[in-house]
Structure 1
Amino acid sequence: MERRIDFARDRHMLCPACGHRWLVDLDWIDRWEQAQETCPGCDVTCEHEDSPRVTVDPDDLALDDDRVAQLSWYHTSTQPDWPTRDFDPASALTAEIRTTMGGDEGLAKWAATQQAKALHAGTYEAAVHNMLRWMRDQADRSRQFYLYRLHLQPSVVVRDGWVIDPADFAGNVALDNVCPPGVDVARYLNYHEAPGGISLALGRDAIARVQRISVPLPGARGDGWVRDAVAALVDAAGTTAPPTGRCRSRRSSAPTSPRVLTAKKLATALAARLPINLRSEFESAAAFTEGDDPVKWARRTSGLCDLIEDPRPALAALDRQGHRQV
């Protein structure tokens, strides 16, 4: 069962100080985070210790226990075989790193901690937002990402209610902390990706099967934008960088190239079409580095934008994929 996809949907806010609850758009939240808005009930700002935060939509289908296993859930990752059944977190560690981690005993404890982490799944919007955040925060811009659609086991046991986002600063959640014995899936209020939505913390055994596509998709926006962007980058390659108006020291970095500046303007123009909470991540994900192939950059940037503006091609591509049993 697919839910309606809407990156720009309004969010529910709840003030713990006065109990007031109200609906806002993303522009309001952006102003709120800059202390330009206050709670309509008690006038506190975002700087208050008990300031309002986004909360769940009471009509969210995921709040219905019987529908959790019927809904489609999503995840983005650079792993081509997520979730890996025989996950070995130590497989890529060098002998030197293994030694610094305390040898076999220390490594075994660390691996057990890694294997005990919960997996995460959420809405389509949360999965795309997660990918953009990883591209920005983890320097994964040049890596291949995959969009997964998860289908849960029909018999999963869902934890009652929902919890506040349980992840630590690194986004990790110990499965046992949210899913006690006899519970397969825990719902939590996502604060980071598609804030206000319900996401899941779960173990591998809760997943029946997955579908996977590589993202972004090529050419969904059409050749027009890509053709114009490539032409602009080619033209920029023949120009020189404008003078900065000040003397450069030996330690100063090289001036930004015209092609990099042109690509930034192109990406910024696309970002302006997106919901305000995605623009910064999108521009970071669409950064151009001198030496990048203009055609590949334009197609990739266009495809990233399409994942947000028109999810239908991505959903159709997933529909054409077979299912992999987990």
Structure 2
Amino acid sequence: MERPIDFSRGRYLLCGQCGRRWVVDLDWIDRWEQAREFCPGCGVTCEVATAPRVTVDPDDPALADEVVAELVWYHTSTQSDWPKHDFNPAAELTQETRLRMGGDHHVAAWAERQRAKALHVGTYEAAIHNMLRRIDHQADHGSQFYLYRVRLVPSITVREGWLIDPSDFVGDVVLGEVCPPGVDVARYLNYHEDPGALSLALGRSAIASTQQIAIPSLSGDDSGWADVAVDELELAAATSPSPAGSRPTWGRGTASPKRGRARELAAPLAQRLPVNLRRQFEAAAAFDDSQQPEAWARYVVGLMSLLLTPQRVLAELDRETGRGL
């Protein structure tokens, strides 16, 4: 069961001070985070510890235990075989790294902690948001990402109710802490990716199958933007003044002519997106001087397709054969 995809939908807020709950748009939340809005019930701003935060939409279908396994879920990863059936996090450690970690005993303990971590799946919006966040904050610019559509085992047991996002500061959740014996899946309110939506923490055994595509893989309908962008980048390189000396000076903290022009070309595209995705999109769309202009332009168009025409992405997933776990 697919859910409607809407990056710009309204979000429910719940005030921890007066208990008021109401719906706002993303522009309101952006102003709120700058202390330019206040709770209409009690007047508190974001600077107060009990200030309003996003909360779950009461009409979210994932609130119904019996529907959780019927819904399709999504995940983005740089792993081309997520989730690995026989996950061995120590497999690629060199002997030198093992020694630095304190030897085989410490490596084994570390590997067990890694295997104890929950997997995460969420809405399509949360999966794309996760990719953009990683590019922006975790040095994943230039990495190949994959989008996974996830179907769950029909007989899973869902933990009652939902949790406030249990992730630690690096986004990890210990599976056993949220899914006690007899429970396969725990719902949690996602604060960071598709804020206000429910995501799931679960183990590998709760996943029945996945479909995967490399992203961004679609050119979409760019109305000629890519061709114009390529011409503009080539013109910027051809008309830029020759830097003094034998090497370009823009490698020392200033943008090269192509990088600067690429930033200008991407800025109007970012303005077409919800306010909470604009900065991350600009980070993902940053031009690298090692890229060919045409490859960069097609990549940017693919990013826009993920955000503005998700039905194209779902259609591509429909053509992929599912992989059972």
* Paired residue type of 1:42: C
Alpha-carbon distance, 1:210 to partner: 0.4
Aligned partner of 1:247 in structure 2 is none
Between the aligned partners of 1:62 and 1:242, the Cα distance in structure 2 is 58
Q: Which residue of 2 aligns with 1:117?
A: 117
- TM-score w.r.t. the length of structure 2 is 0.96
Residue 187 of structure 1 aligns to a residue whose secondary structure is: strand
Q: Are the equivalent residues in 2 in contact too, given 1:221–1:303 (CA < 8 A)?
A: no
Partner of residue 246, structure 2: none
Name 2:227's counterpart in structure 1: 227
Give CA-to-partner distance per residue, 1:221-261, whole Å, 9 cap, x none: 34611111101111111122699xxxxxx9x9253221111
Pairing of 1:1-326 with structure 2 (within 5 A): 1-222=1-222, 224-240=224-240, 253=252, 255-326=254-325
Q: Give the 3-state SS of the residue equivalent to 1:168 in structure 2.
A: coil
> 1:289: Cα distance to partner?
1.6
Are the equivalent residues in 1 in contact too, given 2:117–2:172 (CA < 8 A)? yes
Structure 1 gaps, min length 5? 244-249
2:218·2:305 contact (CA, 8 Å) conserved in 1? Answer: no
Structure 2 counterpart of 1:268, which letter?
A: A
d(CA) in 1 for partners of 2:54 and 2:69? Answer: 25
Report the secondary structure of 1:277's partner residue.
helix
User: What TM-score results when the alignment is normalised by the length of structure 1?
Assistant: 0.95
Aligned length, in residue pairs: 320
CA–CA distance in structure 2, aligned partners of residues 223 and 87 of structure 1: 44
Q: CA RMSD in A?
A: 1.6
Q: What is the CA-CA distance between 1:320 and the residue it aligns to?
A: 0.5
Amino acid at match of 2:213: I
What CA distance in whole angstroms lies between the structure 1 residues aligned with 2:16 and 2:51? 7
Deviations along 1:191-241, whole A, 9 cap, x unmatched?
A: 010100000000000000000011102311346111111011111111226
Residues 173-205 of structure 1: per-residue CA shift (max 9 Å, x gap): 000010000000000000010100000000000
| CA distance in 2 between partners of 1:7 and 1:121 (Å) | 17
**Partner Cα separation in structure 2 for residue 189 and residue 62 of structure 1:** 11
Please identify runs of 4+ aligned residues in structure 1 that moved more than 3 A: none
Taking the aligned partners of 1:291 and 1:212, their CA distance within structure 2 comes to: 28
For each residue in 1:60-92, what CA deviation from the matched residue of structure 2 results, as whole angstroms up to 9, or x when unmatched?
000011100000000000100000011111122
Contact 1:241–1:256 (Cα < 8 Å) also in 2: no
1:143-183 Cα deviation digits (max 9, x unpaired): 11100000000000000010000000000000001000000
CA contact (8 A) 2:56 2:198 kept: yes
Bigger Cα displacement from structure 2, 190-199 vs 231-240? 231-240
Deviations 1:250-307 (A, max 9, x none): 9x92532211111001111111000000001100011112231100000001100110
Identity, % of aligned positions: 59
Distance between the aligned counterparts of 1:157 and 1:228, measured in 2? 53
Structure 2: where are the runs of 5+ without partners?
244-248
